[in-house]
Chains A and B, each alone.
Chain A
Amino acid sequence: EAQVTQNPRYLITVTGKKLTVTCSQNMNHEYMSWYRQDPGLGLRQIYYSMNVEVTDKGDVPEGYKVSRKEKRNFPLILESPSPNQTSLYFCASSLGPPIAGRGTYEQYFGPGTRLTVT
């Protein structure tokens, strides 16, 4: 089954304790991205990756790191989590980046990771 998987699905941690949220897709997609979802704000992009070893900042990258060593995996790293990073996180993938027009690629989203930092 074509899918995007994330682990863990739920995580409660303490301030400053490094954590990694994994994301994996089995569709051979080039483009992957991370979003955070907060009430009343919709989803905001954290980081994205056009391909292996190519990553760039989204709208809210502060406090996050990513890596893309393999095409299928795109982990999100919080080196020193803080309470304002408590959120619902989504990984997404697609054949290519979102480009306006008829050929735009559909984004496939993972199930989400609910992170609480105390």
Chain B
Amino acid sequence: AQSVTQLDSHVSVSEGTPVLLRCNYSSSYSPSLFWYVQHPNKGLQLLLKYTSAATLVKGINGFEAEFKKSETSFHLTKPSAHMSDAAEYFCVVIQGGKLIFGQGTELSVKP
């Protein structure tokens, strides 16, 4: 069975500093992985996806993620945080024709 584990339930950064949200996956074959963002009182929005093509995936709003098979990781990064990045982020894997969500990471951005 495929699963994802988000290693931090909450991350706090200062505006202008780098963001790192960590996700490890468990999979018996090459997975399809996603990062979604949920802003307060809003639905989920797709940030980026990995589907067995390039291992470095660029998404919207300056986010990117690198698929590392040797480390079974798919960490989300951004070089410089903005106040508008404050939200909850979910790492997601496909298994059995459905999305399996991680527990979520709450990102806070301090001025």
Residues of A with Cβ closer than 8 Å to B?
4, 33, 35, 40-45, 48, 58-59, 90, 92, 97-104, 106-107, 109-112
B42-61 CB contact bits vs A (8 Å, 1 = yes)?
11111001011100000000
A-B contact pairs, 27 of them (CB 8 A): A33-B98, A35-B101, A40-B9, A40-B103, A40-B104, A41-B103, A42-B101, A42-B103, A43-B99, A45-B99, A59-B98, A97-B97, A97-B98, A98-B94, A98-B98, A99-B32, A99-B97, A100-B31, A101-B32, A102-B52, A104-B32, A104-B51, A104-B94, A109-B43, A109-B45, A111-B43, A112-B41
Residues of B with Cβ closer than 8 Å to A?
9, 29-32, 36, 41-46, 49, 51-53, 90, 94-95, 97-99, 101-104
Residue of A nearest to B99 (CB): A98
Hey, which chain A residues are within 8 Å of B98, CB to CB?
A: 33, 45, 48, 58-59, 97-98
- A111 and B101 in contact, given A100-B31, A100-B32 (Cβ under 8 angstroms): no
Q: How far does the Cβ of A107 sit from chain B's closest Cβ, in whole Å? A: 7
